[in-house]
Amino acid sequence: MTTAAGERARPVESLAACTSALVSAYDVVMLDLDGVVYVGEGAVPHAPEILRALRDDARLAYITNNASRTPAAVAARLVGIGIDADASDVVTSAQAVSRLVAERVPHRATVLLIGGEGLHDALLERGLVVTASAADGPAAVVQGFSPRLDWRQLAEGAYAIGAGIPWFASNADLSVPTPRGLAPGNGAFVAALAAATGARPLVAGKPEPALFDETLLRVGGSRPIVVGDRLDTDIEGANRVGADSLCVLTGVSDIADVAAAPPMLRPTYVGPDLRALTEPQPAVEREEAWQVCGGIRARVTDDRIELAGAPDDARYADATCALRATLAACWAADGDVADLTGAAALVERFVR
């Protein structure tokens, strides 16, 4: 995965199939956190037990665009919700951007930090000297999220960037989820500096390749699958580096988003939640106007999805088949489907 990103990019035209448990086809599982493993302070349903069971089947890597926490702090949070993890299982955008910086500035160079503890520690790990002042002649500006970021830090960054110093950012997420709703993320503060200076940073976090490459360097493996809930970070990022992906519907992107996604934002597989890793992904076949998966049939009729063949008893495998048939029908119609409520309700009914 370390060749140029443009050479690795692989759009998804149709869903792939897997006849055995999905995880068995891969040797490392790259898991997004918020919306996949936890939401707020609690675990996503089924996530702890599934991840505990998978720990012996594949390497599990927890990857995050949030550069504010250290890997040890992230691992402690995972342990707190019942997931076996330690710092070596966690890879952050702070670690990825620190490698980018270290590869481009002299050893022991001074860099201007705009961010928090996670980014500070990652820069020190690379042998870099951290400063908070543009007057110290930094070789680079490195920006990551911190809830304690203030105007003074942004101003120091603007002074350095305005003088032509290279600028790096851990990620460009415009928002971060909080218990009260969405709050400004690192991308919002990056945008503020971009507006002030007219410059643009080199970004490490998803959907850029650096975080995926950093994960393989730290965790190992050669056949990764990326598991995420956001099409524009997790899934697009996987497609940019030519990795397979699983989109779970426990976070940001819902069935309508996936149905309307262009090929570069489409997942290789889809599932209601992390249980999809332990299940097969049955093939979808076309039968006249219908897309058929596991006996469940879907087609687009008058801009809405029509489903047939769904049994009355609720089973997880039926939810997967309904999802796969629905998406195949929508993608065959170029995503131009106005009404997905029936399919969404059916999937909800089957997920327990």
Q: How many CB atoms lie within 10 A of CB 62?
A: 25
Task: Return the beta strands (E) in 154-268 as ranges.
Answer: 167-169, 175-178, 181-184, 202-203, 224-228, 244-248
From residue 115, give the alpha-carbon distance in Å to each of 169, 175, 331. 10, 15, 41
Q: Which residue has the tokens 């939401």?
A: 39
Contact 145, 170 (CB under 8 A): yes
Q: Which two tokens stand for residue 249?
A: 């519907």
From residue 48, give the alpha-carbon distance in Å to each of 55, 256, 289, 324. 11, 27, 40, 25
Question: Which is catalytic among the residues 27, 32, 232, 339?
Answer: 32
State whether the Cα torsion 262-265-267-273 is positive or negative: negative
Contact 269, 245 (CB under 8 A): yes
Task: Tell me how far apart the alpha carbons of residues 29 and 276 are, in angstroms, rounded to a whole number.
Answer: 13
303 part of the active site: no
State whether the Cα torsion 265-270-273-278 is positive or negative: negative
32 part of the active site: yes
Task: Return the beta strands (E) in 195-330 as ranges.
Answer: 202-203, 224-228, 244-248, 269-271, 285-287, 290-293, 296-301, 304-308
Q: Which of 334, 333, 327 is nearest to 249 (CA)?
A: 327
Contact 231, 262 (CB under 8 A): no
Active-site residue set? 32, 34
